Amino acid sequence: MSNYHIKHLEEYYQVYRKSIREPENFWEEVAEEHFMWRKKWDKVLSWDFSKPEVKWFEGAKLNITENCIDRHLTTRGDKTAILFEPNSPEEPAEHITYNDLYKRVNTFANVLKSKGVTKGDRVCIYLPMIPELAISVLACARIGAIHSVVFAGFSSSALAARINDSDCKMVITSDGSYRGAKTIDLKGIVDDALEDCSGVESVLVTKRIHSEINMKEGRDFWLQPLLDEASDECKAEIMDAEDPLFILYTSGSTGKPKGMVHTTAGYMVYSAYTFKNVFQYREEDVYWCTADIGWITGHSYIVYGPLANGATSVMFEGVPSYPDFGRFWEIVEKHKVTQFYTAPTAIRALAKEGVGYLEKYDLSSVKVLGTVGEPINEEAWHWYDDNVGKKKAPIVDTWWQTETGGIMITPIPFVTPTKPTYATLPFIGIQPALMDENGQEIKGNQVDGRLCIKFPWPSMARTIWGNHQRYKDTYFSAYENKYFTGDGALRDEVGYYRITGRVDDVIIVSGHNLGTAPIEDAINEHPAVSESAIVGFPHDIKGNALYGYVTLKETGESRDQNNLRKEINQVITEQIGPIAKLDKIQFTSGLPKTRSGKIMRRILRKIASKDTSNLGDTSTLLNPEVVQDIIDNAL
């Protein structure tokens, strides 16, 4: 019997030890007992981090949608699979049962086929948080097409770059989207993007806001009439364990986004197993993750993990502040949510509004609280614990990444004693290591270092789409034979981990991963800009905010600075999206550089954080004089 559901701390340690000593036996048992296979594997695991190459359940055949939908129909056909809560509280919630989901996914899958999409094709999904988003993801998986969901807050340029990088032949979108009191012209953004995407043959458009939009003859098709004509039975494509399931882009240290490739069997097993344990999910629960399906959290813990367990997963279209700051709690009360999973930035934003909004609602259904995406500060942790969980619902601070596919370091609720700001212990099967600057593993407790993982886990990304070398360079070159996460961490006296933040050029703003390079590239496109450098600085709600140091070409120096700041943020919004806008822009006469021409971000970071007492050695700089100038004019 596999230990599919861990219920106490002794059991955790026992299962953890087994998963480390005999990883193949352990994962084989989990896979064998809890999933539906068309054919079992020939080999559980083969791996070589020097290539790097990782294969789980090689030789197995399956379709993930049979695991997420078909196999539940006999026992859970009338159970709600997706509980859709619209942007406006006036609009009724929609309960999509497993039977409904089966029909809607199959019908959609037939539409994809009718438009020529076949196994291995890439389909870009650019949709708001409406049921069609989850359904189109599953429809792609049904026929073996590789979905690439792009968060619908990205700009047309960012969308175009992602469509082109993976050669998507279809885009699925909507006429527009609701965001609180606003509407957004999504189709207009897609039209702009497609000016630069010659490979896209068709665009499926679903109606959400019923706005007037342009439909390009021969390319754009309304979804509904196609669904009306399609059959609601579509045979699942039989996939190999290591066939790609999806691509999801994340920021990196160059301007080009990295298309992380996740494959089928390992991802399914790990997302399902973590979901069951990290949320202590039980059959009657109503689980709600507030993330967007445009991020990995939504892929693994709104769609695949919950549905593989036959769960009810709430999908919320709106924002926490609309129509007021009580919206989350209204939804918790209305649907009697049992597990609530959100980001620290949302907690901080809600805490700022006071407890008045919370007190109006009955939150007694909540059993488990979760956070993800960035470190949670002590104050926010206690606010969440005191006011939302009423000190009865354990908080799972879950550390993981787009690249890891599933939760890696986390408490298991009612099992692992929690500690504010600590993600606590590695999940089953995960072998973390802290490394020093010389590439040596730091053993023992009460230490800190760079966080690596030294053994493969089933849901790790297998490559970067179209660029395996970059995958190797980014994750497997810093430390021999280890996956490097890009994060720093400490391990306390009992072995609990606390993530201290990124140690590379990625900044986490409101839980969103932003690379400095793409933002700098965008700014540098402004005709008045000569050069720029972006750093993060602490922000009460966002965790980090962005501070830009910008040097101007001569032509720009006479311009009104406030206008220039607006224009620079406008360029960023166009190139990337509003999430990457800068909070502060300082115009400088130069940027501090090493003799080899590298910008010294360490110094800029300190100045942005108003910590100029110890800037370290600046004598090795090519242009030490600019440092004082920057300090004198800091914002």
Q: In what order do the strands lie in the sheet with 584-587?
A: 529-539, 543-552, 584-587
Q: What sections of 366-499 are H helices per DSSP?
A: 378-383, 468-475
- Residue 324 has φ and ψ, to the nearest 5°, of -150, 180
Which one, 256 or 335, has the nearer CB to ligand PRX?
A: 256
Residues facing 543 on adjacent strands: 539
Q: What is the number of the residue whose Cβ is closest to ligand PRX?
A: 402
Nearest approach in angstroms of CB 590 to ligand PRX is: 31
CA distance 621 to 269: 51
Q: How near is the Cβ of 488 to ligand PRX at its closest, in Å?
A: 9
- H helical segments located in 299-425: 305-308, 327-335, 344-352, 356-359, 378-383
Looking at residue 169, its amino acid is K
Cβ proximity to ligand PRX, 157 vs 485, nearer residue: 485
**Min separation Cβ 248 and ligand PRX, Å:** 9
CB neighbourhood size of 561 (10 A): 14
372, 297 in Cβ contact below 8 A? yes
Nearer to ligand PRX, 241 or 499 (CB): 499
Q: Which is nearer to ligand PRX, 101 or 380 (CB)?
A: 380
Compare residues 220 and 397 and give the one whose CB is closer to ligand PRX.
397
Which of the 8 DSSP states describes residue 70? G
- Nearest residue (CB) to ligand PRX, 19 versus 513: 513
Cβ-proximal residues to 329 (8 Å cutoff; 6+ apart), any chain: 357, 358, 360, 361, 363, 388
**Nearest distance in Å: CB 533, ligand PRX:** 20
Nearer Cβ to ligand PRX (578/616):
578
- Using the minimum distance from each CB to ligand PRX, give the nearer residue, 98 or 301: 301
Minimum distance from residue 318 beta carbon to ligand PRX (Å): 21
Distance CA 84, CA 87 (A): 10
**In the complex, minimum distance from the CB of residue 451 to ligand PRX, in angstroms, rounded to a whole number:** 8
Task: Summarize as ranges the residues that interact with ligand PRX (CB under 6 A).
Answer: 250, 296-297, 372-375, 397-402, 423, 485-487, 499, 502, 508, 513
Long-range (24+ apart) CB contacts under 8 A made by 465-473 are 465/165, 465/166, 465/247, 465/259, 465/260, 465/261, 466/165, 466/166, 466/259, 467/258, 470/252, 470/258, 471/52, 471/258, 472/51, 472/52
Minimal distance, residue 626 CB to ligand PRX, in Å = 30
